[in-house]
Amino acid sequence: MATRNTIILAAGKGTRMKSKLYKVLHRLCGKSMVDHVLTQVEKTNMDNVVTIVGYGAEAVEEELGDRTKYVVQKEQLGTGHAVLQAEDLLADLDGTTMVVSGDTPLFTAQTFENLFKYHEDKQAKATILTSKAPDPTGYGRIIRNELGIVTKIVEQKDATADEAAINEINTGVYVFDNQALFKALHQITNDNAQGEYYLTDVIEILKDQGDIVAAYQMADFYESMGVNDRVALSKATKIMQARINTAHMKNGVSMVNPDDTYIDVDVQIGSDTIVEPGVQLKGNTVIGEDCFIGANSEIRNSTIHNGVTVTSSMIEDSEMMDGSNIGPDSHLRPQSLIGENVHLGNFVEVKKSEIGAGTKVGHLTYVGNAKLGKNINVGCGVVFVNYDGAHKHETVVGDDSFIGSNSNLVAPLNVADHSFIAAGSTITDDINQYDMAIARARQTNKPGYYKKLPYDAD
């Protein structure tokens, strides 16, 4: 039975990145480069995916997990040598094999599908994915004869002046007849400027054998962009971000300034949501319909339900239910659950807490390790004191309670529903239903005291 296979080349060190991080693990729009490549490959229903690893092999395997098989290239002897490392896993299979680099994060599944179809239609032994480059410097050139048939690929360092002037470039992606590929790999040599075994030499071997070699020219050159340094990473990020933002706008999301809006590739946003400039939506964030995400807000790995307003605030690993709002300048730390129609005003911080529907936390308040019921009023400057220096403790506040401004609730603590805490109190004991707790010194006025002060009392 014919199989469809992919080999991802991810063994190079990437010295031009000047980084301690292995090159293909550098991230853009929420995923590493190699993860972007694998994600698009997975959409084409491969029977086998093999990733060739070398430097940083363990880190790559940790990143991609069991979504792919792995083979280690112990010596970096070129792309042909790298592909040959997959021989034990693939060589005996009938079918086709695509080879793609792990540092080309902008390729789409649709381009891969187009390449496979073209290869099959031409009944080729090899098909090269090519494109016209505005500046072909650094790329291998596609050499065609007078009939337009590909005769060979010439690497930049081995190109003559005439060959270097050609702007049709090799994107580094190929589809091969699988068994023909591995047979030809044993025939290539390293007689070239780099002393490496080039995968491109397989093309010439197949041509010399009289096999059909085709070339599919893709329309969007920038999709083929390889990332070898931080400048290229920045350019690739900008291209991918524009792609992501355009898709959201076509799906009914309004962006005031998409050039200044940063959204990771896996983020989901409902229709009629408005996203202002400077917003960053990261990780596995899901945002519902009819939301307003105000300027300079950052939301990570969180779920924002319908009709929520976020004003210049940060939300991490948390959830906001329908109709709730937060900000400006507030912070949801991980494991916070904000109920329906909850109001969190300016400079409010919530951590590992649940806040029930209709509760209002106006401003300048810290809520940590707490469960607040419904329709509670939390005054200004309230602190849920949750840490004793060694352990965190929980505070529970019942429905319809009132917490006066500048109160401290010292955990562990239970405040029953329909209870009242007077402003300025430090509460250390539980409060029963319908009780009011006052924990402050009684006010004393000293008549005429001002006149004793050492300055003119007039």
| Number of other CB atoms surrounding residue 35 within 10 Å | 20
The pair of three-digit structure tokens given for residue 101, joined into one six-digit string: 């680099």
**305 given a catalytic annotation:** no
* pLDDT tens digit at each of 458 positions of the chain: 899 999 999 998 888 889 989 999 999 999 999 999 999 999 999 999 999 999 889 999 999 999 999 999 998 899 999 999 999 999 999 999 999 999 999 999 999 999 999 999 999 999 999 999 999 988 889 998 887 888 888 888 889 999 999 999 999 999 999 999 999 999 999 888 788 898 989 998 999 999 999 999 999 999 999 899 999 999 999 999 999 999 999 999 999 999 999 999 999 999 999 999 999 999 999 999 999 999 999 999 999 999 999 999 999 999 999 999 999 999 999 999 999 999 999 999 999 999 999 999 999 999 999 999 999 999 999 999 999 999 999 999 999 999 999 999 999 999 999 999 999 999 999 999 999 999 998 889 999 998 888 876 55
Question: For the sheet containing 274-275, what is the strand order?
Answer: 254-255, 274-275, 292-293, 309-310, 325-326, 343-344, 360-361, 377-378, 402-403, 420-421, 436-437
Task: Phi first, then psi: give them for residue 280, nearest 5 degrees.
Answer: -125, 120
DSSP state letter for 324: -
The number of helix segments (H) and strand segments (E) in the chain equals 9, 41
DSSP-based three-state secondary structure for 268: strand
Q: How are the residues of the chain apportioned to helix, strand and coil, as percentages rounded to the nearest 5?
A: 25, 30, 45
**Residues contacting residue 233 through CB under 8 Å, at least 6 positions apart:** 17, 26, 28, 227
**Which member of 26, 36, 363, 393 is catalytic?**
363
